[in-house]
Structure 1
Amino acid sequence: MGIPTEPIGSIPRPAALIAALADHAAGRIGDADLAARQEEAVADTIARLERIGSPVLTDGEQSKPSFVTYPLSGHDGHRPDGAVIPFADGHTRRLPRLTAGPFRYGAHAATYLRAARRHTDLPVKQAVIAPSALSLLYPAEGVDGYPREAFVDDLADEAEADIRGCLEAGAHVVQLDFTEGRLSLKLDPGGGLLDDFVALNNRVLERFSPAERARLGVHTCPGGDQDSTHSLDVDYAGLLPKLFRLNVGNFYVQLASEPDPERVLAVIRDHLPPGARVFVGVTDPISGVAETAEQVRDRVLLAARHIPADRLGTCDDCGFAPFADDTSTSRDLAFDKIAARIEGTAAAAEALGV
């Protein structure tokens, strides 16, 4: 049987694509030239993952502007001056601000999935942004003629369509990125915002059948951008019990960069829903040194002391470059870490006899 292992999503873009993104932003090349470089990057990402033996593939989000804003491509009803997300090293990211309704996705994740599947016959997973993250686009002062209730209705419909489109396009699994979950406890330590996020996501997830939800998952981490995080100082014990209320079959939990992973594993053990699988992070994208297969093996064996092997999987803590302009981690280092995850997970499975 083995222990399943999957990537989370983004992989650093190759130099040619990074240069093309800069040239496109400056008006030196057009959409077609940029699309060609993106297609080359997707093909290379798929090929490299296959060469290192990844059983599940991803396009590395080579064509996404970021893991959170891809639905806004071609959408005019927003401005760039939305909510600010501060990171521990002092840099910030700013979300767009909705200025008009109705809210509609300008791009759907199934487009990226279909492009990736042209290059492989192996299983491909697809990451989508959780509706809770996009709910932050709606400003506190409201939008003229477009009440928040109407926005949330539209958002739920669009998020459902995004997920369903990926399932219908043959995704091995669809992963909702929920990095704002841990951040919400920094913004609202009382947990009310987190409760709202979980309720909104479940409002969408309940529209899927049990068989479909078995192919859905949720990823949580403290954010990872330019070798920094936005909420690593937030206690996981406040997040995980509520995270596990989400109606999905798979949970992807950052763990390698946690200061006390055994404490987190105990929380997972006590709250993981029956029938669900948890993929624990065994590589840290922020660390500038590649893990060894032996380090990964030992992290998996530690997790197996708390979680039955038949409910355990492994992943990377986070995406390696969730924003297209993040070059803090090299592409080669990311693939070295992924290779260690694959090899170390297999070694742990052998040691456990599964």
Structure 2
Amino acid sequence: MVIPSEPIGSIPRPASLLAGLDDHAAGRIGPEQLQDLCDAALRDTISRFEATGSSVITDGEQTKPSFATYPLQGLTMLAPDGAVIPFADGHTRQLPRLTAGPFRYGVRSATYVTAARALTTSQVKQAVIAPSALSLLYPTGGIAGYSREEFLADLMDEAEADIRGALDAGAASVQVDFTEGRLSLKLDPSGGVLRSFIELNNAVLDRFSEAERARIGVHTCPGGDQDSTHSADIDYADLLPSLLQLPVGTFYIQLASEPDPERVLEIVADHARPSQRIFVGVTDPINPIVETPEQVCDRVLLAARYLGTDRLGTCDDCGFSPFGDDVSTSRDTAFAKIKARIEGTALAAAALGG
């Protein structure tokens, strides 16, 4: 028996790349030198991913400024004072604010797929940002000459092109990051914002065929940045029934850091469709302690009690460095956790198969 296991996305960037990004921003090095550092970080990331035994890898988001803002690179119609995301430890992240239309992506995820596939024969998975997250770029006061309806139409076209481009570039699967789903319930306990997010994401996903949606998954977690979260205090029971109605083949659900994983598994078992594969988080990226393979195995066996084995997979709870400047977790710790996930999943598969 084989239980599939996949990463979520980001890996902490090496110190050399982070220093190079600062040097480039300050004009101390040119674009060619920065590209050399990016290439080196990508090669090392893929090599270390392969050394863990993972059959599915990512590029570690080494050249993304963050999991959410990569489409905005190079755009000029942005102001810095957009939506603020508060984290439990008191720090915040702030999105930019769109100042003019039409909205277009500056970078699409196919570029990351192409660069990674040139360096490996392993299956490459690509994470993309959900259109619902980018909908927060539009200001509440509106934009003169560019209505919210026009913005959302452009956003849906761009999000579709981003996903389709990654699939066409050879990504084995595309993961839509929807961390704002749980956060929306903190901002609006009535669920109205969540419903609008689900409707927007559904409108994009409905543009794909059933075969294409089988290669698309959705990731949910309470956020992860600088060893803190933005919405872990929100009950999963208020999110998962709606989330699991999205028309995709796969879900990646943060679970290792949940205080009551059995309760979450019960909700998933009650609401997920039999055709959907459920990857459950078995490693916690914001916990500095590296899980043992035996701990991972126990988490997999627990999940199998509720979900069976035919549709079960494992993953990390979240990316290890969703924002490029987050150095709260080391590269060595990230890959040690990934290796424990691979080995622990194999132990569970052997136990369940026997």
Matched residue, 1:203 = 203
Matched residue, 1:300 = 300
The answer as to 2:119 corresponding to 1:119 is yes
Matched residue, 1:342 = 342
Alpha-carbon separation, structure 2, partners of 1:15 and 1:325: 10
Matched residue, 2:133 = 133
* Superposed CA RMSD: 0.7
Q: Which amino acid aligns with 2:277?
A: R
Alpha-carbon separation, structure 1, partners of 2:181 and 2:233: 13
Matched residue, 1:51 = 51
Aligned residues: 354
Matched residue, 1:102 = 102
SS in 1 for 2:288: coil
| 1:28-47 to 2 correspondences below 5 Å | 28-47=28-47
Q: Which amino acid aligns with 1:149?
A: E
Per the TM alignment, residue 29 of structure 1 is displaced from its structure 2 partner at its CA by 1.2
Matched residue, 1:27 = 27
Q: Render the CA deviation track for 1:21-61: whole Å, top value 9, x for unaligned.
A: 12122221122211211111111111111111011010000
Q: Which amino acid aligns with 1:314?
A: T
Q: Which amino acid aligns with 2:207?
A: R
Segment drifting more, 34-43 vs 148-157? 34-43
Q: Which amino acid aligns with 1:319?
A: G
SS in 1 for 2:347: helix
Q: Which amino acid aligns with 1:340?
A: A
Matched residue, 2:16 = 16
Segment drifting more, 20-29 vs 53-62? 20-29
| 1:233-252 to 2 correspondences below 5 Å | 233-252=233-252
Q: Which amino acid aligns with 1:291?
A: E
Alpha-carbon separation, structure 2, partners of 1:25 and 1:289: 34
Matched residue, 1:153 = 153
Alpha-carbon separation, structure 2, partners of 1:274 and 1:257: 25
Matched residue, 1:352 = 352
SS in 2 for 1:310: coil
Q: Render the CA deviation track for 1:75-120: whole Å, top value 9, x for unaligned.
A: 1111111000000000000001000000000000000110000110
SS in 1 for 2:123: coil
Per the TM alignment, residue 274 of structure 1 is displaced from its structure 2 partner at its CA by 2.7
Alpha-carbon separation, structure 1, partners of 2:210 and 2:32: 41
SS in 2 for 1:278: strand
Alpha-carbon separation, structure 1, partners of 2:30 and 2:310: 49
Alpha-carbon separation, structure 1, partners of 2:273 and 2:82: 35
Q: Which amino acid aligns with 2:319?
A: G
TM-score (norm 2): 0.99
Matched residue, 2:268 = 268
| 1:160-309 to 2 correspondences below 5 Å | 160-309=160-309
